[in-house]
Structure 1
């Protein structure tokens, strides 16, 4: 388990030793990643790097939103039995700053699944520090008949 102390020391943290695997993506996430997923509990994480910084040198809120959208969205698709889902609403509350070097995690939670929607939430954290909360709704897409 990552502690607040080693969260800022990349050398003290080996994601693969803790069950994290890189998220494969050739689209948008390839530009802002790498992101990691841990199969044991469905958590997602990334190491905050210079490319994630805003003008004042902390993690950009847009990065935290992109990160939460991906983690919650993939979890929504699993909750929908593998059906494609799209974000129809995502709300973030920013509580503390993410610092460069932080190992930032989210553990997505399915709040409710209906026939056409998945309601999700998750806390974005650096160790025990709460950085943001995310709540959203994903639409389950139905395939049109061929």
Structure 2
């Protein structure tokens, strides 16, 4: 009998790196994975039975969380690593996601003002677009005491 393939070993072999975010919310939603793609980063979660809703598909809350994480991280980089707060996140769920697939999140800056970032996000699973999003991010000023 063949040993089952560990999906995490396959992810690492494909260039994905697990992000260990001790105490952070994403560590409970994930685990979170990332890899470089050109000049940007892609974030991902391997969906498991723990991510399913009562209907048997990945919970929309996980998909929105992954989207917000990717958008926030790209916004943080675009804001010269200044903290950014999600002011608005609009999501459109396009297709259900099953357990046992990699859900990949990509984000990009669309427009920037002095204090706001207009962002776009997308999730793909099993080669299919499953969510699109738009977000408004507010750059937070650091206050030193």
Fold-level match, TM-score > 0.5?
yes
Post-superposition Cα deviations, 1:79-120, rounded to whole Å, max 9, x if no partner, equal: 000001110100100010011001110111111122111111
1:13 shift after superposition: 7.0
Aligned residues between the structures: 138
TM-score by length of 2: 0.88
1:145 shift after superposition: 4.2
> For residues 55 and 71 of structure 1, what CA distance do their matches in structure 2 show?
26
> For residues 8 and 27 of structure 2, what CA distance do their matches in structure 1 show?
25
> For residues 12 and 79 of structure 1, what CA distance do their matches in structure 2 show?
30
TM-score by length of 1: 0.87
- For residue 111 of structure 2, what is the aligned residue in structure 1? 112
In structure 2, list runs of 5 or more residues that go unmatched.
Answer: none
Provide the aligned C-alpha RMSD in A.
1.8
Residue 17 (structure 1) aligned to one of 5, 9, 13: 13
Are the equivalent residues in 2 in contact too, given 1:37–1:44 (CA < 8 A)?
yes
> For residues 13 and 59 of structure 1, what CA distance do their matches in structure 2 show?
22
Are the equivalent residues in 2 in contact too, given 1:10–1:101 (CA < 8 A)?
no
